[in-house]
A and B are shown apart, each in its own frame.
Chain A
Amino acid sequence: MGRKLLTEHINVEGIDTLEVYRKHGGYRSVEKAIKTMTPEEVVEEVKKSGLRGRGGAGFPTGMKWSFLAKPEGVPRYLVCNADESEPGTFKDRQLMSKLPHLLIEGMITSSYALGANTSYIYIRGELLYVLRILEKAIAEAYAAGYLGKNILGSGYDLDLYLHPGGGAYICGEETALLESLEGKRGNPRNKPPFPAVQGLYARPTVVNNVESIAAIPVIVNEGGDEYAKIGIGRSTGTKLISACGHLNKPGIYEIELGLPVEEFIYSDEYCGGIWKGRELKAVVAGGSSVPILPKELILKTAAGENRLMTYESLSDGGFVTGTMLGSGGFIAMDETTCIVRNTWNFSRFYHHESCGQCSPCREGTGWLEKVLHRLEYGHGRMEDIDLLVSVAKQIEGNTICPLGEAAAWPVAAAVRHFREEFEWHVTNAKEAVQPGAVFPGKAVLV
Chain B
Amino acid sequence: MAKITFDGIEVEVPDGTTILNAARQIGGSIVPPAMCYYTPLKGSGGKCRACLVRVAAGSAKDPRPMPKLVASCVTPVQDGMIVENTTSEQVMDVRKGIVEMLLINHPLDCPVCDQAGECDLQNFAYEHGVSTTRYVEERRTFEKIDIGPLIQLHMTRCILCYRCVYTADQLTDKRVHGVLGRGDAAEIGTYIENIIDNDFSGNVIDVCPVGALTDKTFRFKQRVWFTKPVNAHRDCENEKCGGRVVLWYKGKDVLRVTARKDEYGEVKEWICNTCRFDKKETADWTIEGPAHIDRSSVISANHYELPVVNPQVIADLPESSVRDLEQNPPMKLGN
Q: Which residues of A contact B (CB under 8 A)?
A: 168, 170, 185, 190, 192, 351-360, 362-367, 370-371, 374, 387, 390, 393-394, 397-400
Contacts and interface: CB of A to CB of B under 8 A. Distances in A.
Contacts of A394: 94, 97-98, 100-101
A85 to B, nearest CB: 14
27 contacts: A170-B182, A190-B46, A190-B74, A192-B75, A192-B76, A353-B182, A354-B184, A356-B182, A356-B183, A356-B185, A357-B47, A358-B47, A359-B101, A360-B49, A360-B101, A362-B101, A363-B105, A367-B104, A371-B137, A374-B137, A387-B134, A393-B97, A394-B97, A397-B68, A397-B69, A398-B49, A398-B98
A190 B186 CA distance: 19
B186 A362 contact: yes
A4 to B, nearest CB: 36
B71 interface: yes
A185 B165 CA distance: 13
B111 interface: no
Contacts of B94: 394, 398
A365 B183 contact: yes
Contacts of A355: 182-183, 186
Interface in B116-151: 134-135, 137-138
B97 A351 contact: no
Contacts of A354: 182-184
Given A190-B74, A364-B101, A394-B100, A356 B186 contact: yes
Contacts of A185: 179
> Which 8 pairs, one residue from A and one from B, show the smallest C-beta to C-beta distance?
A356-B186, A394-B97, A190-B46, A354-B183, A363-B101, A366-B184, A370-B137, A190-B74
B183 A366 contact: yes
Contacts of A387: 134
Chain A interface SS verdict (over half) = helix
A371 B162 CA distance: 28
B69 A362 contact: no
B159 A359 contact: yes
A352 B184 CA distance: 8
A359 B137 contact: no
B176 to A, nearest CB: 16
Contact of A359 (B49, B74, B135): B49
Contacts of A393: 97
Given A190-B71, A192-B76, A351-B183, A360 B97 contact: yes
B102 interface: yes
A390 to B, nearest CB: 8
A400 B47 contact: yes
Given A356-B179, A400-B71, 10 more contacts: A170-B182, A190-B45, A358-B48, A358-B49, A363-B102, A367-B104, A367-B135, A394-B97, A394-B101, A400-B47
